[in-house]
Amino acid sequence: MVHRKRKPDEDAPLVARAKEGDTEAFDELVVKHTSKLYGLVYNMTSNHEDTNDLLQDIFAKAYRSLKRFRGKSSFYTWIYSISVNMTLNFLKKRKRRQAMSLDDVDSNIHNDKDFIEMTSKSDPIREVTISELQKRLNEAMMKLSDDHRAVVTMYDIQGMPHKEISKILGVSEGTVRSRLFYAHRQLQNYLEDFRKA
């Protein structure tokens, strides 16, 4: 049987220092991963204030639990799992409250191939403004179930492979693919007019 060697965790030295009580090392980890984790939580909640509060909770929990982190996975996978679980728990509690507050859109979107194609003047149906697109995308995402939204966020938006998602969610790769398929099918209905002809 062939055992694949796992890539060494680049955060390992910082984690080791943080475990010994070096708070600056933990700060470095916070700075390094805030942006990516923000994307995950924001795309699952569609609310900036909730994202901010949750992110604070996530890092506080990670700090308290750091001593028990054994390094079986990378630090990023570990804290990402904490984030997904905490966000899903939060969404279960929030359930009835539809609270959307949209973040600014990075101006780089204007250079994106897909965005240019979509907003092409040649097709008046697909002529959209960024704010309209943003609103529609968020509305469409909020129509998905929490589990489906989590998979779409991790796979489509954050570009995480199926295998990694299955590890984080504790489900099989097949379940991840299946959720992704049904989520996409649902999204098709909401975003029909944005799709390519």
Which residues lie near another protein (CB under 8 A)? 27, 30-31, 34-35, 38-39, 42-43, 48, 52, 55-56, 59-61, 63-65, 68, 102-106, 108-109, 112, 114-115, 118, 133-134, 137, 141, 152, 156-158, 172, 174-175, 177-178, 181, 184-185, 187-188, 191, 194-196
Nearest 5°: phi and psi at 74? -70, 160
Nearer to another protein, 77 or 158 (CB): 158
Q: Is 155 exposed, middle or buried (0-12, 13-18, 19+ CB in 10 A)?
A: buried
Q: Minimum distance between the CB of residue 5 and another protein, rounded to whole angstroms? A: 25
Which one-letter amino acid corresponds to residue 119? Answer: T
Q: Minimum distance between the CB of residue 8 and another protein, rounded to whole angstroms? A: 23
Q: Are 142 and 46 in contact (CB under 8 A)?
A: yes
- From residue 175, alpha-carbon distances to 17, 48, 87, 134, 153 in Å are 37, 29, 20, 28, 15
The residues with which 195 forms a beta bridge, in sequence order, are none
Nearer to another protein, 76 or 115 (CB): 115
C-alpha span between 65 and 13 (Å, rounded): 17
Q: Minimum distance between the CB of residue 57 and another protein, rounded to whole angstroms? A: 9
| Helix H or strand E segment including 56 | helix 48-65
Nearer to another protein, 75 or 194 (CB): 194
Nearer to another protein, 5 or 67 (CB): 67
Q: Minimum distance between the CB of residue 17 and another protein, rounded to whole angstroms? A: 17
